[in-house]
Amino acid sequence: MLDNKKILLIVSGGIAAYKCPDLVRRLRQRAARVRCVLTNGGAEFVTPLALGAVSEDKVYQDLFSLTDEDEMGHIRLSREADLVLVAPATANILAKMAHGIADDLASTALMASDKPILCAPAMNVRMWENPATLENLATLAKRGVGFIGPEEGDMACGEWGLGRMSEPDQIADAVEEFFRQELPLNGIRSLVTSGPTLEAIDPVRYLANRSSGKQGHAIATALSRLGAATTLVSGPSHQPDPVGVKMVKVETAVQMLDACESTLPVDVAILAAAVSDWRVETAEISKIKKGSDKKPPALTLVENPDILATLSAVGNARPRLVIGFAAETDDVIANATQKRAKKGCDWIVANDVKPETGTFGGDANTVHLITEDGVEDWPTQSKAAVAERLAERVVETLTATQ
Ligand code: CTP
């Protein structure tokens, strides 16, 4: 997600400009803020009204407009953005950029910019292959300008070849990838478990617990927002799937362990699921009926695999950082400290789940982080805030040990 990133979209004069309202829409769907600059050529293919409507912002066109300069100014226009995107980037605007020509608002804003620039070229195949264009591209690439496409295909001029502007979704993907590369957990793989597990008694009944999945889902969201490629293995939960996270939905502890093991190797594993400690030895295939003697059936339980202990001891494939949770109702710190040692994980996030705390199912959590350095008491805060703080600690630790 582009998360309020400010994008200055420069629309220059190629037929592909007709795709720009769609591009603006797709960038905004990913939560970016988009402001458009339209060249005179661009305005032959797409109207300022269309771009203004989809961007919900003023469209800037004229370098010498007193009002525009007063409100914004070409310097601030480019400096206020997090990224300048030129789409379509015609041979002409690329040439101006390469040679430092500033003769309209778009080219002046580009020259005045101290922000990263991405271009999505669009032109006829002969223009793309022209040595002048190739030299301009090489010059711009050397200066750090990034390129998205162009693609090969049919062109508006009837020819076929390289020069079509990439599709709006591809451009939005590339923009997202650009920002992802700047994130502190870019290149890091993370695994999170969340929710309860359900252990079948028969086709209609099961053993479960009160976990809502709120904390685990929030952790997956926080890691992903910091750039980690995140897999969330979750038992049944009503929480929405976090955006940008690979979801693996399971029911039982055994399925959860399988899913976790097939996600390895990862750099960090945070196991927040409330895994059922036991399962019914043999779940009945048919619904258990009340017997004529009215006696309730006896359930034989067997222990489930311990996912946290297993992942903490997988030898070479062990994540660099394994973090467990400890749901406790009594002697929270002492029990959690013991759990850390017993399971062999690096950190334990201990939380008090006595009913009066409202932790299970609630939005807030009071946790204590137990590491090899001791115990940190965190204030009561939302589960999202706990997740963000934990993710920041992961960044500090993984970047310190890289
Ligand atoms: N856990 C696990 N697999 C299990 C049981 C627990 O991976 N079969 C993980 C949980 O995801 C959590 C940690 O172990 O990260 C501690 O879970 P918790 O329920 O607090 O502890 P238990 O190991 O179940 O011990 P107890 O129920 O005796 O407190």
pLDDT in tens, 66-122: 566 666 677 888 889 999 999 999 999 999 999 999 999 999 999 999 999 999 999
Mean pLDDT of the 19-41 span: 97
Task: Tell me what pLDDT residue 3 has.
Answer: 85
178 alpha carbon – ligand 1 mean position (Å): 38
Q: Which residues are known to be catalytic?
A: 157
Does 6-180 match 189-400 in CATH topology? yes
Task: Tell me what pLDDT residue 157 has.
Answer: 75
Q: How far apart are CA 398 and CA 149, in angstroms?
A: 34
If one residue of 194, 197, 277 were mutated to test the ligand 1 pocket, choosing by the most ligand atoms within 8 A of its CB, it would be: 277
pLDDT in tens, 244-298: 899 999 999 999 999 999 999 999 999 999 999 999 999 999 999 887 777 888 8
- Considering the four listed CATH numbers 3.30.200.20, 3.40.50.1950, 3.30.360.10, 2.40.30.10, the one that applies to the domain covering 6-180 is 3.40.50.1950
**What's the angle, vertex CA 111, arms to CA 106 and CA 113, rounded to 5?**
95
Going by alpha carbons, the residue nearest to atom 6 of ligand 1 is: 275
Tokens of 44: 């032959």
Where are the chain's structural domains?
A: 6-180, 189-400
5 alpha carbon – ligand 1 mean position (Å): 39
Q: How far apart are CA 11 and CA 197, in angstroms?
A: 51
Mean pLDDT of the 157-163 span: 85
Q: How far apart are CA 222 and CA 268, in angstroms?
A: 13
Provide residues with CB under 6 Å of ligand 1. Answer: 193, 253, 271, 273-275, 277, 304, 306-308, 324-327, 339
If one residue of 198, 307, 323, 352 were mutated to test the ligand 1 pocket, choosing by the most ligand atoms within 8 A of its CB, it would be: 307
- Considering the four listed CATH numbers 3.40.50.720, 1.20.1050.10, 3.40.50.10300, 3.30.390.30, the one that applies to the domain covering 189-400 is 3.40.50.10300
205 alpha carbon – ligand 1 mean position (Å): 22
pLDDT in tens, 118-156: 999 999 999 999 999 999 999 999 999 999 999 998 877
Nearest atom, ligand 1, residue 335 CA: 29
Beta strand segments in 70-141, E? 83-89, 117-121
